[in-house]
Structure 1
């Protein structure tokens, strides 16, 4: 089995697969964007790209992969498309693991947008937004000199951020109180985030709700056609 990972969900899936099928070879593939990724103990990992859908199809055949499990981030649209195409080329079964998107609840102040550029335009002049986006998604915001963003990421960005920005090197907290404290400490006026879904990074959305802050919520890209499972349990069940 080949698991396309880079998410906490993928790590949980690998653990469940190893427990259910200890005799099977399970490969966890990571893009390589993080220098010290968190992976399950003793997991067989592969780092780096495949060379598009055709390269992935070649890998599937060469490694005798019988099942391709796409557990990448909900916004990893490129690899999701490549996985679907590669599975078709190689004649391999594919399942997409996709946790449910967050939904509006009472007290939320969301502005829903479709892309990063639209999210950037949604911020008023003078805003102090918390950009909970990851380092590869900040470029549109660096072009605005009238906002003073707070950016959090695991590793420093390259190139460096503008001097008017504040950088926090940390992983997202699962504690809404810690997220609220961070936003208060830096006088945040808006939260900008992608609708990743799941519980792991929802605390910042809860904190914004409790603080009454506006949230610019970026919608998910379209998911390729094919079987979709929402949870680890659903994937294991579907595999039989």
Structure 2
């Protein structure tokens, strides 16, 4: 598997090229901020018209990760849908693909700030979930007991210069105490990992794991 292994609260986990987090010993896959239905929501609210392919692309990414890892548990760390209306307006073809992915495994939907209500889909809906030494929630809690927090929400990204070119890459942040996952969905923006809110959450030795094949760790503060 083309991932980057690291230790979080004693658990050996893997940052996947997609932005997912794989915990092999628990057979658990965590993904965050799918934002399914983003193009539909933007069109509905009079925003920019985006090609309506984000849901299909995001689900294809999820299908690939599930095929590669065969998880017993999938945890979606909130903002799985761009809003409650997008969840209710999920096309039949997308609902069918999601149902197929959920079959035969435990599926946990963590409440996000974009999708606070029930989605009408199967699975378990929780504010947060505890699995072994890890706690999964949507937004990092600066007062949470550590180590072992896994969250999303901020869509971290980093900017760096490569061969004279300035590029932006989605990244997973970790300092061994907590991990903040990047947005998994297509058409999602990001927050620079130098932002004060992220700087305050992460310890002095935090790394940004740049998404790609394979993912590459760099110091978060460069």
TM-score (norm 1): 0.26
Q: Report the structure number with the largest CA radius of gyration.
A: 1
Which has the larger strand fraction?
Answer: 2
